[in-house]
């Protein structure tokens, strides 16, 4: 049975730039693509790719240059020409790894071994956050909506200053969290009274209505409730939204996911998994209390789980998933008609990137198509058991074990067979790696290609190369 389509409200695509930041030209193509697929706007998480100035200049990325001010403005211009809104996301509490990793900022951490959480009681920490917000807002002329993050504020309350604050009777970690968020939101409202402020909801999930009401947060911010799982608990989610509504938070947002939430190192997304997540969100949207204003849904596409983790699926390989999820929202289900629409729009034979098939020429609505195909092929190869577990195959384990290698014992005939097989696999991998690297250089900085290959391919190629080298060394000792 299908659900009603997504009710009114915006459909924003999340652009996570803290990993694999696309080149500007490719960003423009992606915005065009998102627009044609039916998105209304973008939630842009710049992180270290924002051109911070002054004392904050040290926050800029070093693996590749941050975007320039002109590039940030051109991004807005292209979005505006498509009628798309841009909502910047600036982390102001948790997930501040890109700030707090710098030695000059270590003293602003809540606890020394947690790189993500800001100490909420330090005046200079609050000043730093306000300056980040100020620079981002000022480089977005006419901005109406800002997201202040505030998710996953780990280890809060464990720092020395926080412990002192909490020692006063009746004070709780919940209040400590809310006090900081309210300070940030009030500053923003004072500077830009018209600004709508959004924040992630997870730190408020366990809080009572009374705690929320007493904090002063009601009316200041709009919570964005996120859940990326395919088996999301609909009743639990609805009751959580009802709690926010009863506390006085009438304007709420949802956040689903089209990539970057399956596993921290996934290369190719499962469209089905993400479609199922959207089907659950459609059930939630159909069960909301009257009066609650669902402002929209952000379809997240994480590029890293956090600043210090590896790259998730790159954008090109996730476009079929994004298109399928948007169609699911429009139709209430991914019907055969909706699937066929995605196939036609992107020029694919399946909404699953793994089986999308190759196309002659680059489909206009699928920027990065050739890179997506190359990634799918290479991912399939590095995941194959023959290559992944080469050191465990019968010949290597039986005739070229660590025992044999250490003693330079070798059956030359079988050694030739192992050498040939390893060399063949290595050549196949190298050929596909070269294609991926070349394709990536069109869309991403060289640092992204380097990181992706070192992360996903090098660990698979290294054992093959090692066996080849060791066989060559052993053969010299045993074959005249």
Active site residues per annotation: 152
Buried b (16+ CB within 10 A) or exposed e, 131-168: ebbbbbbebbeebebbbbbbbbbeebbebeebeebeee
Could you give the CA distance from residue 153 to residue 225 in angstroms, rounded to a whole number?
15
* CB-facing half-sphere around the CA of 33: CA atoms within 13 A: 26
Residues 6+ apart with CB under 8 A from 336: none
Burial class (CB in 10 A: 0-12, 13-18, 19+), 192: middle
- Per-residue CA distances from 118 to 122, 285, 303, 405 (Å): 9, 34, 22, 51
The C-alpha atoms of residue 317 and residue 354 are separated, in whole angstroms, by 9
Dist. CA 145–CA 134, nearest whole Å: 13
| β-bridge mates for residue 199, sequence order | 223
Q: Using CA atoms of 53, 54, 55, 58 in order, give the dihedral in degrees to the nearest 10.
A: 40
Q: Give the other-Cβ count within 10 Å of 314's Cβ.
A: 26
Beta bridge partners of 43: 14, 87
CB atoms within 10 A of CB 369: 23
What would the 3-class secondary structure string for 148-206 be?
CCCCCCCCCCCCHHHHHHHCCCCCCHHHHHHHHHHHHHHHHHHHCCCCEEEEECHHHCC
Only one residue has tokens 């391919």, namely: 457
- Contacting residues for 382 by C-beta, under 8 A, at least 6 apart: 388, 429, 456, 457, 460
Q: What are the beta bridge partners of residue 89? A: 45, 147
Going 171 to 174 to 180 to 186, the CA torsion angle's sign is negative
Buried b (16+ CB within 10 A) or exposed e, 277-299: bbbbbbbbbeebeeebebbbbbb
């Amino acid at each position: 049975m299908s659900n009603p389509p997504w009710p009114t409200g915006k459909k924003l695509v999340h652009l996570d730039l803290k990993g694999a930041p696309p080149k500007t030209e490719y960003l423009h193509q992606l915005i065009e693509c998102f627009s044609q697929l039916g998105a209304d706007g973008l939630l842009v998480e710049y992180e270290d790719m924002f051109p911070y100035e002054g004392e904050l200049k040290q926050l800029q990325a070093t693996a590749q240059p941050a975007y320039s001010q002109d590039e940030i403005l051109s991004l807005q211009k292209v979005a505006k020409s498509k009628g798309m809104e841009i909502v910047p996301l600036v982390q102001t509490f948790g997930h501040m790894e890109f700030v707090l990793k710098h030695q000059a900022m270590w003293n602003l951490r809540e606890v020394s071994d947690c790189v993500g959480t800001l100490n909420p009681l330090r005046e200079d920490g609050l000043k730093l956050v306000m300056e980040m917000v100020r620079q981002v807002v000022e480089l977005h002329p006419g901005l109406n909506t800002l997201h202040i993050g505030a998710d996953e504020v780990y280890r809060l309350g464990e720092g020395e200053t926080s412990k002192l604050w909490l020692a006063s009777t009746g004070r709780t970690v919940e209040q400590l969290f809310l006090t900081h968020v309210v300070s940030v939101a009030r500053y923003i409202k004072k500077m830009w009274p018209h600004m709508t402020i959004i924040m992630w909801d997870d730190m408020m999930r366990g809080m009572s209505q009374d705690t929320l009401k007493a904090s002063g947060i009601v009316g200041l911010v709009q919570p964005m409730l996120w859940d990326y799982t395919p088996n999301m608990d609909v009743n639990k989610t609805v009751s959580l939204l009802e709690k926010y509504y009863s506390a006085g938070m009438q304007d709420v947002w949802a956040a689903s996911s089209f990539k970057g939430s399956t596993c921290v190192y996934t290369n190719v997304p499962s469209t089905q998994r993400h479609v199922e997540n959207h089907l659950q969100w459609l059930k939630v949207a159909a069960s909301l209390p009257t009066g609650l204003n669902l402002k929209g849904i952000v379809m997240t596409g994480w590029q890293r789980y956090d600043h210090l983790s590896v790259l998730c699926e790159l954008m090109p390989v996730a476009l079929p998933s994004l298109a399928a999820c948007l169609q699911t929202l429009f139709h209430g289900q991914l019907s055969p008609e909706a699937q066929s629409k995605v196939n036609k729009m992107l020029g694919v034979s399946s909404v699953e990137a793994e089986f999308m098939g190759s196309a002659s020429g680059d489909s206009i609505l699928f920027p990065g198509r050739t890179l997506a195909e190359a990634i799918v092929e290479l991912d399939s190869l590095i995941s194959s058991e023959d290559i992944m577990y080469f050191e465990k195959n019968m010949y290597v384990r039986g005739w070229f074990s660590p025992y044999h290698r250490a003693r330079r014992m070798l059956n030359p005939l079988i050694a030739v067979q192992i050498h040939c097989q390893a060399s063949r696999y290595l050549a196949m991998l190298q050929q596909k790696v070269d294609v991926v690297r070349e394709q990536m250089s069109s869309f991403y900085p060289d640092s992204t290609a380097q990181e992706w290959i070192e992360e996903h391919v090098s660990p698979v190629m290294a054992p093959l190369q090692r066996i080849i080298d060791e066989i060559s060394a052993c053969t010299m000792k045993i074959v005249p």
